[in-house]
C-alpha cells in the first residue's frame, strides 16, 4: 500500500472556530516523534458540495488510507438541539448513509471520535440517547476490557490512563456484532470495534489539556458548575494521542487498491 496516501477526516461541526480547533488538534496529535505528520484531507458533512463524495464513496476511496469521523458540539442524537439543527442533523444522516455503509461493507480503517463514535453506533443499530447518567466533560479514566488490552488500537497504552470526554449523548449498549474495548468512568461504551478495522471511541484522543480548555470556552454549555473550577480540574492526558498513532499503523496494513470497485 502507498502509505503516502492521506487520511480522510469528515467534520460534523457548524461553528467555523470549532472546525479549525478540531483540524489543528488532529494535525498536532498525529505528529510523530520524528516530526512527520500524515497528510489529512478534511470534508464537511454539511457542505452540499460534498454530496457526490458521500453518495458515491466507491469512486473516491482509492485516494485514502483511512477515515476519521470527528466530533460535534451542536448536533445530537438525543434530540436536545434546536429544531433547525435537528433538521440539518436528519438531512446529514441521509447524506452520509451510503458512505458509512460502504465503510462497514469493506471494513475500511475508520476511527469515530465522540459524535463519530455515536454515528457508527447508530448505523450499527444501537440507540444513542441523551443520558445524564453517562454524560461526561473533563479528564476521566478509561477502563480497558480484556479484548481492549489485546487490540492494536490500544497497543502500548497502560492499564491506568485517562482521556478527555465531552459529550451529552451516549450509546445505551455496545452495538450487536461489535466488541466492547473500553468503558469510561460513566460511559458504558467507551470504545468498541466492529469487524477488524472500524473503531468508535467516546473520548477525544486528539485533545490535550490546552485543547480542552479552548473547547470549553467555545462551548460553555458543556461545562458543569463553575468554569474556573472546571478548568482547574483538567489533567494532562499523555497517553491518549497514542490511539491516533496506533490507528495510523492500522491503516498501513490495509490496501484500498485491493477493494473491488463496484460501478
Active site residues: 114, 204, 206
Residues whose CB falls within 8 Å of the CB of residue 33, separated by 6 or more in sequence, listed in order: none
Burial of 203 (0-12, 13-18, 19+ CB in 10 A): buried
CA distance 24 to 198: 23
HSE-CB of 89 using CA atoms within 13 angstroms: 20
Instruction: Convert 59-91 to b/e letters by CB count within 10 Å (16 or more is b).
Output: eebeebbbbbbbbbbbbbbeeebeeeeeebbee
CA distance 36 to 71: 24
What's CA 250's distance to the chain center, in Å?
Answer: 15
Q: Which three cell numbers stand for residue 19?
A: 472546525
Name the phi and psi angles at 49, rounded to 5: -65, -15
Amino acid at each position: 500500500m502507498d502509505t503516502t496516501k492521506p487520511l480522510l477526516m469528515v467534520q460534523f461541526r457548524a461553528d467555523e472556530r470549532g472546525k479549525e480547533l478540531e483540524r489543528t488538534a488532529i494535525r498536532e496529535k498525529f505528529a510523530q516523534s520524528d516530526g512527520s505528520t500524515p497528510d489529512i484531507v478534511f470534508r464537511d458533512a454539511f457542505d452540499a458540495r460534498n454530496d457526490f463524495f458521500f453518495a458515491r464513496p466507491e469512486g473516491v476511496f482509492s485516494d485514502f488510507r483511512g477515515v476519521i469521523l470527528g466530533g460535534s458540539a451542536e448536533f445530537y442524537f438525543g434530540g436536545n438541539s434546536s429544531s433547525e439543527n435537528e433538521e440539518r442533523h436528519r438531512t446529514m444522516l441521509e447524506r452520509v448513509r451510503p458512505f458509512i455503509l460502504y465503510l462497514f461493507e469493506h471494513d475500511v480503517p475508520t476511527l469515530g471520535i465522540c459524535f463519530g463514535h455515536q454515528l457508527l453506533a447508530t448505523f450499527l443499530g444501537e440507540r444513542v440517547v441523551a443520558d445524564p447518567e453517562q454524560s461526561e466533560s473533563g479528564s476521566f479514566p478509561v477502563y480497558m476490557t480484556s479484548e481492549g488490552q489485546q487490540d492494536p488500537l490500544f497497543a502500548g497504552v497502560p492499564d491506568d490512563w485517562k482521556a478527555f470526554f465531552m459529550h451529552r449523548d451516549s450509546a445505551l449498549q455496545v452495538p450487536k456484532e461489535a466488541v466492547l474495548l473500553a468503558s469510561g468512568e460513566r460511559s458504558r461504551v467507551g470504545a468498541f470495534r466492529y469487524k477488524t478495522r472500524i473503531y468508535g471511541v467516546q473520548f477525544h484522543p486528539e485533545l490535550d489539556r490546552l485543547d480542552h480548555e479552548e473547547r470549553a470556552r467555545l462551548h460553555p454549555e458543556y461545562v458543569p458548575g463553575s468554569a474556573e473550577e472546571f478548568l482547574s480540574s483538567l489533567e494532562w492526558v499523555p497517553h491518549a494521542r497514542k490511539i491516533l498513532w496506533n490507528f495510523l499503523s492500522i491503516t498501513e496494513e490495509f490496501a484500498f487498491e485491493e477493494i473491488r470497485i463496484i460501478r
